[in-house]
Amino acid sequence: MGGPLTEYHSRLEEQEKEIKTLSAEIETLKSKELEPTARLDELRDENTKLNYRLNILKRSLQESPPAAALPRDSKAMLNINQRLQHVFGAAIRAAYPELERPPLAVTPSQQAKFGDYQCNSAMAMSQMLKAKDVKVNPREIAEKIVKNLPENELIEKTGIAGPGFVNVHLKRSFVSQLLSDLLVNGVQPPPLPKKKRVVVDFSSPNIAKEMHVGHLRSTIIGDSMSRLFEFLGYDVLRLNHVGDWGTQFGMLIAHLQDKFPDYLAVSPPISDLQGFYKESKKRFDNEEDFKKRAYRCVVRLQSKEPDFIKAWNLICDVSRKEFQRVYDCLDVKIIERGESFYQDMMTAVVKEFEERGFVELDEGRKIVFATGQSLPLTVVKSDGGYTYDTSDLAALRQRLFDEKADIIIYVTDSGQGSHFQVVFAAAQMIGWYDPGVTRVEHAGFGVVLGEDKKKFKTRSGDTVRLMDLLDEGLKRSMDKLKDKERDKVLSPEELEKAQRAVAFGCIKYADLSHNRINDYVFSFDKMLDDRGNTAAYLLYAFTRIRSIARLANIDEAALRKAAAETEVRLDHEKEWKLGKCILRFPEILQKITDDLLLHTLCDYLYELATTFTEFYDCCYCIEKDRQSGAVVTVNMWRMLLCDATAAVMAKGFDILGINPVSRM
């Protein structure tokens, strides 16, 4: 059996052989005498696929670190699952070299009696071999995999269960060392092969309209995704694609001219922009002269006449102040780059599609049918104006070519999924990006429901204003803290910090803890409940963990010294369970980076908190004198487990945008 380096060289040679084979096949295809029509199309299609696979393999060779170079000695937390996949991948390739891309399935074990992890590849491999007319029992396959396992630093022993599950038991010394590394280095992200540029488009309210509960999900989910990529070391651009352009500004400017004729000299005192919008809309619908003037205002705005640009800016500034109140409450940082930013780019986008022959005329409109899509994009209206389709194409092009984004994520409701599907298909058709190289994705989400399971509305049937919702959260969280008599223990400043932490933390967590694809029921009572998978429970649990060292009179310096000198013992089953749970954090981050489903992180934090409670109930961290209550013994390795738990929870909270406080 060779070490990890041998395993990597084997993988390297295998990939290089495949590259040579693919290159030879491409050259063969080029030199063939092509028959017309169907055969020609078939060969061209095959040629494209081979080139694509060749590029993927080349990129894999450039970016994939060798197994021996995994961050064992670096400050980064090691992804145990990923390391096991390297080990089992090498074993599978050695055992069955004839299988092309054999399945590799390594997962944490659900029951302690089956070890710590399981490799479940044997059954699927049996089916692959059967397709080649080779009948092999899955258990025999599992045995052969185990025999070919390379030497490694993390597996204590393996066992085969049932029809071919390979149960993996980790070395306790290995897990203990990883925990010590975590305590010394802190919670560090895995090393990036390349620092990629990520654009996250989220929140996106409309100017002159107040943010409502519908904007809550996009704002919270987009902020958390941005925090995730930032922690992992990516270069993240957070963009707010506000609706700040369009025909509605004609009626708003016309109404502004009537109501505040001196607006150019004196800033108009518009305190209720929503009311101002409703007034202008009513006039637009009922007054023909006003409607005509509104259309003329749109033309003059689009011509960028200074007075009209100033009026437009005044209206936008009032909205920005209202939006910022929400962002300050939710601790969200975002750069505004609205539809107006892309106006001057749209003509060039339409011209590019026309020059490539993708534009069709349809009753005066200019439309584009993207490959594989049944619905077209309208890039120019019959009156010569541009559309949301044109704006979104221009925005995507700017992000690809000017921002040079490697990853672009749009966080909007699922109802816009089909629209983005067509936009992305059109961008691929014209050659703006290759989905095998650049990741462009719509992260859709369901709607917020009231407790009656209908769309969340006020009692009068209006949409719920987001600021009203946040204010109600503050009121209810203070009531909750006073019910627990925290106002008698905390100073006024501590109480206010706890109020904000609970209110906004609970609102965010209630959203993020649900699968974003599904609708979810908004309930203050449930989200403020300190039992079950809620932010209230996790925040109280975190505060309790942090208080253990304080009660034992152990300061930060003593913990740091112990981390460097004290072995983290994992003899008790609850110590072992907690240690492994702490170290699963990198696996969770990898999963949510791949699928952008943040509820997985929430589920993990809840599992970590409940696993800690099991540990704390069974394993004494400090022992006190029964008479005096004085601390007699401090089991320092257990204090270190408390510290490691708190460190991972704190980082998880940070990714979710939740701000825990030291006292609650």
pLDDT of residue 266: 85
Of residues 437 and 462, which shows the higher confidence score? Answer: 437
* Over residues 572-576, mean pLDDT: 97
d(CA 323, CA 200): 18
| Residue 68 confidence (pLDDT) | 37
Residue 237 amino acid letter: L
pLDDT of residue 45: 54
Give the residue, 333 or 631, on which the prediction is more confident: 333
pLDDT value of residue 210? 85
Residue 363, Ramachandran bin (φ over 0: left; ψ between -120 and 50: alpha; else beta): left
β-strand pairing of 106-108 with 117-119: antiparallel
Q: What does the pLDDT read at residue 63?
A: 39
Between 6-15, 553-562, 622-631, the lowest mean confidence (pLDDT) is in 6-15
Query: What percent of the chain is predicted at pLDDT more than 90?
Result: 75
pLDDT above 70: residue 29:
no
Strand ranges in 322-392 using DSSP code E only, listed in sequence order: 335-336, 359-362, 365-368, 377-380
| Average pLDDT of the residues in 532-544 | 94
Average pLDDT over residues 203-227: 93
Reported as a pLDDT band with limits 50, 70 and 90, residue 3 is very low
pLDDT tens profile 482-528:
999 999 999 999 999 999 999 999 999 999 999 999 999 999 999 99
pLDDT digits (tens, 9 = 90+) for 419-443: 999 999 999 999 999 999 999 999 9
Predicted confidence band at 6 (pLDDT cuts at 50, 70, 90)? very low
Distance CA 528, CA 483 (A): 12
At 627 the pLDDT is 82
Per-residue pLDDT, averaged over 158-166, amounts to: 94
Query: Is the pLDDT reported for residue 22 higher than 70?
Result: no
* pLDDT value at residue 41: 53
**Looking at the chain, how many residues does it have?**
664
Residue 37 has pLDDT above 80, yes or no: no
Phi first, then psi, for residue 451 (nearest 5°) are -70, -10
- Residue 399 backbone phi and psi in degrees, to 5: -70, -35
The per-residue pLDDT of the chain, averaged, comes to 89
Residue 85: partners with Cβ closer than 8 Å, 6 or more residues away:
104, 106
What pTM does this model have?
Answer: 0.86
Tens of pLDDT, residue by residue over 404-420, are: 999 999 999 999 999 99
Predicted local confidence at residue 27, as pLDDT: 60
**What number is the average pLDDT over the span 85-108?**
94
Residue 194: burial class (beta carbons within 10 Å; 0-12, 13-18, 19+) = exposed
Is the pLDDT reported for residue 23 higher than 80? no
Query: Is 653:606 a contact under the CB 8 Å cutoff?
Result: no
pLDDT for res 21: 61
- Answer whether residue 69 shows pLDDT above 60: no
pLDDT digits (tens, 9 = 90+) for 366-391: 999 999 999 999 999 998 889 999 99
Residue with tokens 């503050």: 474
Residue type, 19: I
User: Which tokens in the block code for residue 99?
Assistant: 């299988």
